[in-house]
Amino acid sequence: SQQGEEDPQALSIQEGENATMNCSYKTSINNLQWYRQNSGRGLVHLILIRSNEREKHSGRLRVTLDTSKKSSSLLITASRAADTASYFCATGRGAQKLVFGQGTRLTINP
């Protein structure tokens, strides 16, 4: 069964604006991760937040985690054309495997 569900499925914004993507999940987790995928390529890990953390930053990325609502958000600030990609959340539950969501397709318009 699908654990993570991203919202929205697609997002189109102007360069320089902030992009926010959300992820919801169904069961308890050890950690939640965000990955990026450029078209036709493999996934690249962006950031990991553990279940006992509420917020984490990495460069222009900010991730929040609300375990009571079983949800996470990824904020990309000051977007650039190069940020155009699909973004996936993935949840780790301690069974040495991750469950990925369906992804958000982000388009940054110049």
Partner 1 sequence: SQTIHQWPATLVQPVGSPLSLECTVEGTSNPNLYWYRQAAGRGLQLLFYSVGIGQISSEVPQNLSASRPQDRQFILSSKKLLLSDSGFYLCAWTSSGSTDEQFFGPGTRLTVL
User: Least Å distance between CB 16 and partner 1?
Assistant: 27
Verify binding: residue 2, partner 1, rule CB under 8 A.
yes
CA–CA distance, 14 with 24 (Å, rounded to integer): 25
Number of H helices, E strands in the chain: 0, 11
Place of tokens 């992009």: 19
SS3 49: strand
Q: Please identify which residue in 22, 31, 67, 107 interacts with partner 1, judged by CB under 8 A.
A: 31
**Segment lying near partner 1 (by CB under 8 A), choices 16-24, 60-68, 71-79, 90-98:** 90-98
- For binding to partner 1 (CB under 8 A), which residues are involved? 2, 30-31, 33, 40-45, 48, 88, 90, 92-103, 105
